[in-house]
Amino acid sequence: MWLNLIIPIAMTNKLTPERINQWVEKIINNKNIFSTVFHVENEDRSFVHTSAAGDINPDSKYFIASTTKLLVTIVMLRLMEENKISLEDKLGKHLPDEMVQGIHIYKGMDYSNDLKVLHLLSNTSGIPDYFFHKQPDGKTAADALIAGEDQPWHLEKTLEVVKTLNPRFKFGSKAAYSDTNYQLLGHIIENITGKPIEQVFREFIFDPLGLKNTYVYQDTNDTSPARFYAGNKQIWLPKYMASVAVEGGVVSTAEESAKILRAFFNGDFFPKERIESLKKWRMLFSPGVFYFGIGLEKMWIPWIVSPFKPIGEVLGFWGQTSAFSFYNPKTGLYFTGTANQFNGKGHQAIGNVMFKSIKAAL
């Protein structure tokens, strides 16, 4: 769905707030995008700008969706530094037997006890994604949620469904995006720390960075986060969002998300050199075209996007609602925000603005 990102973009001379505002305003002209917040800052913070359009403000709270997974990577690397976990650990070391048993039976062979933490964090486990995988009735969890059937999806429910499905492939042989992997990682983190994931995120990340508007969504009466859309349909799923903290249930602002992103790539949470070890890229084709490493994503940028001035790596995470958190080392630019759109048009629009911004700064 993001293949349209490869269209050539006209050269610009300079990155300015005025240009960014113009680009963001154009996003709202798309009939299926109703709110966009786009934050960009450079490494020395001599340039910091947040632009918003539609029914959202620059300082609005929003669900950061799967960019939450960057927080999981932070916690996992911290625990690795403390020698409390290893990527080579078998799942059975950190999860109870009843969770692991029967989770990966492929072509009649049970590989459940062979799965490692690495396979979860790199999306190479083969374990079906409960969110998009078709269940026996032909529907997915996503279908029901988009239809307005707000319901929680705790790990126990996820495993009950996933264990009735066939793995997509034998573990370690390929990569496929799976929220199930991250639900399991969340439980592993809770078992190791002895704390709920919301407390872990707060103590490891939110409090050290002094974040006041970033939190795990738990109160279903909290209506402060911006709504997201599927096409032109507004969706509000408080029960679901309150149940999926570790895979996408964190609320933040564009500015505070940028603080997390900056701290990640500055090595504030773990030795900066560890980032290189995460770049074990495998290309993923759904939803979209990008690479997934070990707890980190890289956008696929064809040569034609900028044939004379290569953009270089764009590292971070996409969220299903087009929330984004990316860093471009070539220009030193950090990008955060959302278009609050589920259907992919938001990803395309945001991606184009990111690429324009990078080219303007080259």
Q: What is the pLDDT of residues 128-166, one digit of tens each?
A: 999 988 877 778 889 989 988 999 999 999 999 999 999
Counts for the chain of helices (H) and strands (E), in that order: 12, 15
Say yes or no: do domains 3-68+213-361 and 70-198 share a fold.
yes
Domain boundaries, the chain: 3-68+213-361, 70-198
Burial 179-197 (b: 16+ CB within 10 A, else e): bbbbbbbbbbbbebbeeeb
Region of residue 296 (left: phi > 0; alpha: psi -120 to 50; beta: else): beta
Per residue in 229-274, pLDDT tens? 999 999 999 999 999 999 999 999 999 999 999 999 999 999 999 9
Q: What percent of the chain has pLDDT over 70?
A: 95
Question: pLDDT at position 11, please?
Answer: 36
31 against 165, higher pLDDT: 165
User: What DSSP string runs through 105-172?
Assistant: EETTEE-GGG-BHHHHHTT-S----TTTSPPTTS--HHHHHHTT------HHHHHHHHTTS--SSSTT
Question: pLDDT at position 288, please?
Answer: 53
For 143, the token pair is 């279908």
Band of residue 7 on the pLDDT scale cut at 50, 70, 90: very low
For 16, the token pair is 């300015």
Band of residue 9 on the pLDDT scale cut at 50, 70, 90: very low
287 pLDDT higher than 50: no
207 pLDDT higher than 80: yes
Question: pLDDT at position 10, please?
Answer: 40
Per residue in 296-347, pLDDT tens? 999 988 777 778 888 999 999 999 999 999 999 999 999 999 999 998 889 9
Question: pLDDT at position 155, please?
Answer: 95
Per residue in 65-101, pLDDT tens? 999 999 999 999 999 999 999 999 999 999 999 999 9
- Please give the single-letter amino acid code of residue 135: Q
* Matching residue, tokens 């573990």: 171
Diameter of the chain by CA atoms? 60
CB atoms within 10 A of CB 328: 25
Pick the CATH number of 3-68+213-361 from 3.40.710.10, 1.10.3720.10, 2.40.30.10, 3.40.50.1000: 3.40.710.10
CA distance 103 to 115: 9
Q: What is the mean pLDDT of the chain?
A: 92
Strand partners, 48: 41
Question: pLDDT at position 304, please?
Answer: 79
Please give the CATH topology (third level) of the domain spanning 70-198.
Beta-lactamase (3.40.710)
Let me know: does 47 contact 358? Beta carbons within 8 Å.
Answer: no
CA distance 162 to 131: 10
Question: pLDDT at position 325, please?
Answer: 98
Band of residue 31 on the pLDDT scale cut at 50, 70, 90: confident
